[in-house]
Amino acid sequence: MQQILTLCVGNICRSPLAQVLLARELPDRTVWSAGLGALVGHPADPISKALALENGLDLSGHRAQQVNSLMCQRADLILVMEQHHRFQLERRYPLARGKVFCLADDDIADPFRQPREAFEAAYFDIARGVADWAERIRQLG
């Protein structure tokens, strides 16, 4: 599992946080993020940036990108934030089947346009999911 893609809708709140958390946990892997309906070219949400910074992570250079077929082919593992993201992705890109999984046991709610508390809850769920996946990936070698 050398190439890992994290995915949400807009690619400005959840998947960028998952990307930088996974990259910190798995520095020898390539991790990137994208969105199913990305706000292409937009920076990370200011609250996501602030939470990242408070946790020693940097999202200042992030720019949202739309998922595409090449990304799905390149990825060994695709981690989505919600179950329906998996269904949408696999319907658009059937070759992704078998390597798309939810980051957490439950859907990670989209905090977009919500108060900071929603971002904090999402960050907690993302961090927990990243810790679980990082351990699994390390065990696989």
- The catalytic residue positions are 8, 14, 110
Rounded distance between C-alpha atoms, residue 48 and residue 16, angstroms: 8
Rounded distance between C-alpha atoms, residue 22 and residue 89, angstroms: 21
Chain-centroid distance of CA 22 in Å reads 9
Say if residues 59 and 16 touch (Cβ distance below 8 Å). Answer: yes
Q: Indicate the SS3 state at residue 4.
A: strand
Measured in residues, the chain has a length of 141
